[in-house]
Amino acid sequence: MIKGKDELFNEIKNYSLKKDNSCYKEKIDLLEDALIDSVSNILKENPQIHLAYSGGVDSSLVLVKILRQSKFGSAVIAHTIGSKDDPDMFYSKEFIKKLKGIYKNLYHNMHIMKISEEDTDKSNEILKVKHDSPDNYYMLMKAISLYTKKIVCCDCIDELLGGYYAHRDPKGYFPNYDPKKDLEENRVEALKYYMSRLIPEHLFMLDVFSSHFDVDVFLPYGDKEVINCCSKFSIDELVDDDNRKKPIYEIAKRNKIPKEILERRKYGLVSAFNVNL
């Protein structure tokens, strides 16, 4: 079950960019501080941390923040799911190998999984649908529930800060692109569109499957103050012709997230078992 679900869902439903004249750097500083506070609060409730880790920029940033904020060398266990050839397996393994040289309390569980007919049937039964493959949140919870009943996930930030390719290039990727509107208007519409899908297509699934496996889910990017900080950026501060969710990439660079992770193609958990994307 997602911790603080009701408040989070309410914040998401009411989310919109607000006019804020603070300087860009100040907004980024406040966002990073809010993320640190969010991670610190999670650590207070969980002396041992389990993290759903994709090897992407969002989860890599949270992993670094957790390691720096953790006290007394409490164990931090990163869990990566996917098929054998999934890019997440490579990137997560390489970065954790570097971090282990600094943080001896870091461990990595790589869950190389094959989808079975039983998985599909069980996932469909829980959701009361009929799909050709199991939901990836089902696969995540199936994997990590053998190790823990509490997991940190990094959902929400792509929607909050314009992390999809459709935010950067609406004409090429946004299904509701309107040629009558200018680029900035289409980017704003893309932000609204993906925010509207966050609950039904992502968080609802995460909540259903975590509840089924009796796992508590903590969302550092779903913290109220993090969401508030995200809303203060203008659309041009979030995306341009070459970049997505610019504030997160700026914070990631500050925290020395490797260039290869910053430049890798976005997939995300929803693509964990589709290596042909």
* Segment-wise mean pLDDT, segments of 10 residues, the chain, 277 residues: 96 93 96 97 90 96 95 86 88 96 94 93 96 94 95 97 97 97 97 97 97 98 98 97 97 97 78 52
Beta strands in 113-238 (DSSP E): 150-152, 216-218
In a domain, 274, yes or no: no
pLDDT of residue 271: 59
Q: In which residue are the tokens 């911790």 written?
A: 3
In a domain, 271, yes or no: no
Dmax over Cα atoms in the chain, in whole Å?
57
In a domain, 57, yes or no: yes
**How would you list the strands of the sheet with 76-82, edge to edge?**
106-112, 76-82, 49-52, 150-152, 216-218
Per DSSP, what are the bridge partners of residue 108?
78
| pTM for the model | 0.94
Would you call 220 helix, strand, or coil by DSSP?
helix
Would you call 83 helix, strand, or coil by DSSP?
coil
pLDDT of residue 273: 62
pLDDT of residue 277: 36
Backbone angles phi, psi at 222, to 5 degrees: -95, 5
List the CATH number of the domain containing 240: 3.40.50.620
What is the domain range of residue 98?
A: 5-257
In a domain, 108, yes or no: yes
In a domain, 251, yes or no: yes
In a domain, 91, yes or no: yes
In a domain, 266, yes or no: no
The count of structural domains within the chain is 1
In a domain, 232, yes or no: yes
pLDDT of residue 19: 85
Backbone angles phi, psi at 258, to 5 degrees: -60, 150
Structure tokens at 243: 């970049």
